[in-house]
Amino acid sequence: MKFFVFLRLLIKSALIGLITFIALFSITGFALADFGVNIPNPLCLGGTSSTPCINDFPTLITTITGYILTVVGALAVVMIVYAGFLFLTSSGSPEKIGKAKQALIYALWGVAISLAGTGLISVIKAVLGI
């Protein structure tokens, strides 16, 4: 019972903190605009004329998914090599061969899920026309 009271208090405190955070930063944005303060876009590393400049949400999502796909691809290669190593060192043991097969299957499932996620984002962007 005490856990649920604590959980309810924690959720309530988190919501109050989030609302306060949003209110505070929305007010400061208007205040800075009134004084002529211009905050540069932190996602434009070489200025607004550079190629890797991210000015909108779809470009941000595309960039993030590109980075995630790169990391997942590298991890997939490592896991497939690990599964191959397990196959080579199994010495015919059915348990070790089963472990190697599971590692290979999980690595391939991870690649399939990441590619499906990237494809899903492309489909959503095409449907929305962005």
pLDDT tens across 76-100, in order? 889 999 999 999 998 888 999 999 9
How many CB atoms neighbour CB 94 within 10 A?
Answer: 8
DSSP annotation of 40: P
Which pLDDT does position 38 carry in this prediction?
67
Residue type for 20, please? T
Distance CA 37, CA 116 (A): 43
Q: Is the CB of residue 86 less than 8 Å from the CB of residue 103?
A: yes
pLDDT of 53 > 60? The answer is: yes
pLDDT of 54 > 90? The answer is: no
Question: Structure pTM?
Answer: 0.56
Distance CA 79, CA 84 (A): 9
Which pLDDT does position 64 carry in this prediction?
84
